[in-house]
Amino acid sequence: MKPRKPSGIVYEVDLTRIQGDGNFSCPNCGVSISPEDETEDVYRIVETKVKGETLEELKIQCNRCGSKIRVIGFLSLDRDVS
């Protein structure tokens, strides 16, 4: 049985607040979401926001439960690498 799709809820994940290599769990159903996954089996990219040439934000959708997730924190991570 699939978890119910939340109506109108957009979760937010701040990459600067997670530990490790960028993997995080869907805030609704708990499926593991990896930035390394390019298959779109677990999630799909719905929208990207870019500032200059740097990724600012991604909106993704979990394929398991349909949750929309706003992934932020890319700008801070980019500054930390420089």
In a domain, 72, yes or no: yes
Range(s) of the domain holding residue 57: 10-81
Name the region of 73 (left: φ>0; alpha: ψ -120 to 50; beta: rest). left
pTM metric for this prediction: 0.81
In a domain, 36, yes or no: yes
pLDDT in tens, 28-40: 999 999 988 889 9
In a domain, 63, yes or no: yes
CA distance 14 to 36: 17
In a domain, 3, yes or no: no
pLDDT in tens, 41-68: 999 999 999 988 889 999 999 999 999 9
In a domain, 39, yes or no: yes
| Structural domains of the chain, count | 1
